[in-house]
Amino acid sequence: MKLAARVSQVTPSLTLAISAKAKAMKADGIDVCSFSAGEPDFDTPDHIKAAAKAALDAGKTRYGPAAGEPRLREAIAQKLQNDNSLCYGAENIIVTNGGKQSLFNLMLALIDPGDEVLIPAPYWLSYPEMVKLAEGTPVILPTTAETGLRATADQIRQAVTPKTKLLILNSPSNPTGMVYTPDEIQAIADVVVEKNLWVVADEIYEKILYDGATHLSIGAAGPEIYERTITSSGFAKTYAMTGWRIGYLAGPPPIIQAVTTIQGHSTSNVCTFAQYGAIAAYEGSQDCVQQMVSAFAQRRQFILNAVNTIPGLSCPKPDGAFYVFINISKTGMKSLDFCSTLLESHQVAAIPGVAFGADDHIRLSYATDMDSIKKGMERLATFVQSL
């Protein structure tokens, strides 16, 4: 069978593949410690589930507007004003089936064949593939430990060509956990404005911050950058709602309308009653977020201490998200080989850095319970010592 050319250039998602493999091994009775997908192990908070159940009972079971329930769009706009100093109304918001659909639909709406999209590496593995599916050209900007695995404003400026359309900025970062400082965000905003680009800010981890790190939304860095920013976020990571599939985009109305047109011909609205759970997430108490972030903070400290006692491994201290990005170059192994041997021989699931554009690293998600973390780190130590 001859498939379309566009799909042959795209690599299947390794995060999804490895986490599915780990779940299947567990279902077969194998004692796997999975650090694979970035998926909080907590259950969705009760008040959010109750709101969705009440909406289901109230008959919120029908098609809704493709851009989302008006009340949810209002709640998102309010949240962006309060938390992010982004001045938006409901007309600036589209509700999507997760952050992934937000970004994918945005690529379809913005990218023409041959347009270049700047992607700092290490990057979340779906960014380049989405750009390719939209027939754009991903331009990868490699970073090093010297700049904290973050792209600099100068580096971005130098990478701009007449074909550059968009910058993808992800802070806090998946896979590194690095957070751009407000000064760095401001300097990058200046380049985006100077070079007449667009920027999409993937802020899905914005609430998961440690040690006093602060998050500045690039769209709030001035009136000119506000006009050139699309903010992408969602409920999955902050409220343990990964399976609900609710994300959103916020930005200038013409872009939101274009994305709504695409969504109107692809998925239509996000599950109607699920959107009522999302309203409760934003309008209800935020204590649940604090509790989850405190648990992540303890796990982060434990996992960092553990990695730093394993000779041959090193890891920068992440300021956000729930990942550690471990340098394995001293082991002499490439990341795919390292991860597949680790899984087969010691039943520890990790994601190879090659998927994120950094083959001398592996990513561990610590959005899992402490017992699994303790056991998994012992196994990782034994594995590395055996090399």
Question: Shortest approach of ligand GLU to residue 124 CB, angstroms?
Answer: 6
Would you give the binding string for ligand GLU spanning residues 13-42, x where CB under 6 A is met?
x-xx--------------------xx----
In sequence order, the β-bridge partners of residue 140 are 119
Restricting to residues 112-151, which ones interact with ligand GLU according to CB under 6 A? 124, 126
In the complex with ligand GLU, which residue's Cβ is closer, 174 or 275? 174
- Distance of closest approach, residue 247 Cβ to ligand GLU, in angstroms: 11
320 touches ligand GLU (CB under 6 A): no
3-state per-residue secondary structure call for 194-263:
HCCCEEEEECCCCCCECCCCCCCCHHHCCHHHHHCEEEEEECCCCCCCHHHCCEEEECCHHHHHHHHHHH
Using the contact rule CB under 6 A, the part of the chain among 8-16, 219-227, 297-305, 325-333 near ligand GLU is 8-16
Helix (H) / strand (E) element for 90: namely none
Nearer of residues 75 and 201 to ligand GLU, judged by Cβ: 201
CB of 94 to ligand GLU, least distance (A): 19
Show contacts with ligand GLU in window 198-217 (CB under 6 A). Answer: none
Residue type, 327: N
Under the criterion CB under 6 A, does residue 174 sit at the interface with ligand GLU? yes
Q: Taking the mean position of all CA atoms in its chain, how far away is CA 181?
A: 18
Between CA 44 and CA 51, with CA 46 as vertex, the angle to 5 degrees is 100
Say which amino acid occupies 81: Q
Instruction: Count interface residues toward ligand GLU (CB under 6 A).
Output: 9
10-18, 114-122, 216-224, 273-281 -> range binding ligand GLU (CB under 6 A): 10-18
Return the CA Rg of the chain.
Answer: 20
Helix (H) or strand (E) holding 129: helix 126-133
Binding footprint of ligand GLU on the chain (CB under 6 A): 13, 15-16, 37-38, 100, 124, 126, 174
